[in-house]
Amino acid sequence: MSMVFVRGIARAAAVLAWGACAASPRALPSPSPGPVAAGPVTYAPGATQYRRASHRHIEQQVGGQTQRTDEALVCFVSATLARQGDRLTVSLTLDSVPRYQSDPSAAGAAERARGATFTGELAPNGQITAFSGGDPSNKLLQQLADELARFYPRIPPTGAEPGARWTDTTQTTSKTGGLPLTMVAVSQHQAEAPADSGAERTLPIRTLTTYSFSGSGSQGGQVYLVQGEGRRHTVERLTLGGRFFGMIAADTSSYTISLRGLDVSIPGRQTRADTLSIIP
Nearest-CA neighbor of 227 among 170, 182, 169, 270?
Answer: 182
- Are 64 and 37 in contact by the 8 Å Cβ rule? The answer is no
CA–CA distance from 208 to each of 43, 134, 183 (Å)?
22, 30, 16
Distance from C-alpha of 223 to C-alpha of 258, rounded to nearest angstrom: 9
Greater confidence, 179 or 210?
210
> 139 falls in which pLDDT band (50, 70, 90)?
confident
Residue 36 scores a pLDDT above 50? no
Greater confidence, 188 or 175?
188
Share of the chain above pLDDT 70, in %: 85
Domain carrying residue 69:
3-279
Query: What are 220-249's pLDDT values in tens digits?
Result: 778 889 999 999 999 999 999 999 999 999
Per the structure, the count of domains in the chain is: 1
Distance from C-alpha of 18 to C-alpha of 21, rounded to nearest angstrom: 10
Distance from C-alpha of 156 to C-alpha of 152, rounded to nearest angstrom: 13
Looking at residue 188, what is its pLDDT?
98
Looking at residue 164, what is its pLDDT?
96
3-state secondary structure the chain: CCHHHHHHHHHHHHHHCCCCCCCCCCCCCCCCCCCCCCCCECCCCEEEEEEEEEEEEEEEEECCEEEEEEEEEEEEEEEEEEEECCEEEEEEEEEEEEEEECCHHHCCHHHHHCCCEEEEEECCCCCEEEEEECCCCCHHHHHHHHHHCCCCCCCCCCCECCCCEEEEEEEEEECHHHCCEEEEEEEEEEECCCEEECCEEEEEEEEEEEEEEEEEEEECCEEEEEEEEEEEEEEEEEECCCCEEEEEEEEEEEEEEEECCCCEEEEEEEEEEEEEEEEC
> 9 falls in which pLDDT band (50, 70, 90)?
low
Average pLDDT over residues 187-214: 94
Query: What are 51-105's pLDDT values in tens digits?
Result: 999 999 999 998 889 999 999 999 999 999 999 988 999 999 999 999 999 877 6
Query: What are 241-280's pLDDT values in tens digits?
Result: 999 999 999 999 999 999 877 788 999 999 999 999 999 8
Looking at residue 33, what is its pLDDT?
39
What distance lies between CA 166 and its chain's CA centroid? 20
Query: What are 140-182's pLDDT values in tens digits?
Result: 998 899 899 999 999 999 999 999 999 999 998 876 656 788 9
CATH number at residue 184: 2.30.230
Is this prediction's pTM over 0.85? no
Looking at residue 27, what is its pLDDT?
39
Amino acid of residue 36: V
Looking at residue 12, what is its pLDDT?
53
Across the chain, mean pLDDT equals: 86
Looking at residue 38, what is its pLDDT?
54
